Structure 1
Amino acid sequence: MQPLAVNSTSRPGALKITPFNGTVTVRFSDAIIASTERAKVLHEEGQDPVFYIPFEDVYFDLLEKTNTTTHSPLKGTASYWR
């Protein structure tokens, strides 16, 4: 997992990253497309918490990368898979 910069929680739009204690399994239909015990939870002010899963724990052979990317000044550039 790429490290993320964490800003002070007193700043608007601040991020807080915490380890998740447990297993996160991502399923689509009957297929498991990711499973990890190393997930992190990103808490961003004004947003629902989001799980981040290490690339090594995603089964990319079941996914196809899209041409879509987005950029956040706080979180960097994201790529999308389907």
Structure 2
Amino acid sequence: MVVHAQACCVTLRGRRVLAGLVLACLLGLLTPGAVSAHALLISSNPQAGQTLGTGPGVVVLEFSEPLNPRLSSA
């Protein structure tokens, strides 16, 4: 009878550990991946760090996504 009780406890412990691992995996899958809240600057003209004799007539900036005109002041 004592041997059966010990085997039952080991089985119950194993089930709890397995349930914990499954829960941890599910929570890992449900966690959102990394996101970026802002567009990234891809390129500019004039180039970054470029030395100019006079101020440029136009500055062109290229971003990784379209800018929202309602949220832009440029």
Does TM, scored on the shorter chain, surpass 0.5? Answer: no
TM-score normalised by structure 1 residue count: 0.20
Between 1 and 2, higher relative CO (CA 8 Å, sep ≥ 6) is seen in 2
Per residue, is there more helix in 1 or in 2?
2
Structure with greater Cα Rg:
2
